[in-house]
Chain A
Amino acid sequence: GQQLNQSPQSMFIQEGEDVSMNCTSSSIFNTWLWYKQDPGEGPVLLIALYKAGELTSNGRLTAQFGITRKDSFLNISASIPSDVGIYFCAGTPSGANSKLTFGKGITLSVRP
């Protein structure tokens, strides 16, 4: 089945820094979603993207739907300690009856 690739598995940044995360696939996706999961909680939807080239912001977060429809990135600007968590990309592959597919996630640590 279609897979979403997220790497590295972990990222460590200093408070105040910007960070960018990428998500790629070998297949075309119709939708890209970015979720954040805090310890002991379910994933929370951050940003949803529906059109190739679309750039969407949510506060300090910005995400883009790649032109090729095979990738997406999420930027976090001016990081703060509460940005710590696991960031998952997810998407719906092109094709009938496609189900939401999740990447393996990136664990973000923010040093104060």
Chain B
Amino acid sequence: SAVISQKPSRDICQRGTSLTIQCQVDSQVTMMFWYRQQPGQSLTLIATANQGSEATYESGFVIDKFPISRPNLTFSTLTVSNMSPEDSSIYLCSVDKASGSDEQFFGPGTRLTVL
């Protein structure tokens, strides 16, 4: 399985600021995804990070709030913009096991607290 790292592992931020989360994979992957996991809740897909094109966002998530970059096949960033306490969550990136596979491997997550 792919080895996935995320930076930062956790952060405490003030409302109104923005935080960029990095996701690095040790091998080239086709698909990279960003999820949000609110406290005590399940995982909700934010968007699919597409290499060389704009990310594909799920219903309820917009690019202005969660801009995403995918400059190559091993790296992606998610920015949480103009944060509010409601954005306090774990943010997880994941990658597909292989092209066309439904199996995803997850990074360790970034624990964000917004005051």
Binding site for B on A (CB under 8 A): 30-31, 33, 35, 40-45, 48, 88, 90, 92, 99-100, 102-105
Contact = CB atoms under 8 A, between A and B. Distances in A.
Interface residues of B, number: 20
Given A99-B58, A105-B42, A48 B92 contact: no
B45 A43 contact: no
A104 B42 contact: yes
A69 to B, nearest CB: 14
B102 interface: yes
Contact of B102 (A42, A92, A102): A92
| Main SS class of interface, B | strand
A45 B104 CA distance: 8
A42 B106 contact: yes
| Main SS class of interface, A | strand
Interface of B: 1, 4, 41-45, 48, 58, 92, 94, 102-109, 111
Given A42-B107, A42-B108, A45-B105, A88 B58 contact: no
A41 B108 contact: yes
12 contacts: A30-B102, A33-B102, A41-B108, A42-B108, A42-B109, A43-B43, A88-B43, A99-B45, A99-B48, A100-B45, A100-B102, A103-B42
